[in-house]
Structure 1
Amino acid sequence: MRLTLDGYRAIHAEAPHWLRVAMDLALVTLQRPEDLVMARYSDIQSGALYIQQRKTGTKLAISIGPELASVIEDRRDGKVCPFIIHHRPRRLPSNPPANREHPMQVYVDKLGKAFASARQKSGVFASAHNPPAFYEIKSLGGDRYRQMGWSPPRYKRFTDTPTRP
């Protein structure tokens, strides 16, 4: 089932703050969940968010306009985490997984499960045989841009990855 703007808003209303920011980031940037969870504040340089897509290897520079700037600023919460999408777990593990770069790092599976939980709480897709997943936000965002008269994508490719501190 396709995700509608009304469905998005209903799920967004039930989502925790960190997930709302992830949803908004997906809606504005049109990026895959696996690329969004790896986006860092240090990837923001010269008015653009630099992303190297995991699936294709494509390097993108997404221009930061007012809407994207608002989403990014909404996530700045004073917690020390290099990732834009982050969440403080109820308890920090004494032995964190070796592949975890930061205790507040969100993985794609956590993103999907949290989205499914918020979707269920919203009740909008309760009778749907195949309810939309987080990935559907990318399609909704593309439709949204087309309705506004823009042709996605609104980003440019780059060849040199900005250096991370």
Structure 2
Amino acid sequence: MLTEMDVSMRFQILLLFCSIHLTTTEIQSLPKVSKYGRFINVENQEYKVIFMKTCVSGIFGFFENTTLKGAVYEVKIGSTKLSTEIRNRYKGEPLNITHDPDLLPEENRFKPFYFKWTNNTMVVGAGTVVGQGTSLQWSSERNVTVRFFSVRTGSCPMDYILELSCKKV
């Protein structure tokens, strides 16, 4: 269970690295097999840190606009194949895949993951500190612009917290 002290310590640590903007500490719940719905504007951000728990997978979309055709990356953390993968579009073929257990969700506790995007690279990693710990990345040949972020589920309900965001400074 994430406590106020956990949130406060993470805030203090991340404050050293960027300009922090608190979004929410509310737990969001998605049912089994949900669709992208709520698009969060991330245009002036470089990464997101999330905490998630699910029995199978959580799927995170990164978009140029708020349509499914606007998807530039999709990251699926966890699957029935015990893998994490980066895709180049909505439900696209995996571009990079790992079976590393550090990059798999847990069912009974919130586990932190980060997503970092630049002009043509997407990175997903385990933990709250971007660039540290186990990660998976993909670089595209073309520059893409990430303006929106959204969450959906695969075959199992998911709880998640979008807690801290960093703005470019």
Report the TM-score when normalising by structure 1.
0.26
Larger radius of gyration: 1
* Structure (1 or 2) with the greater helix fraction: 1
* Structure (1 or 2) with the greater strand fraction: 2
Report the TM-score when normalising by structure 2.
0.25
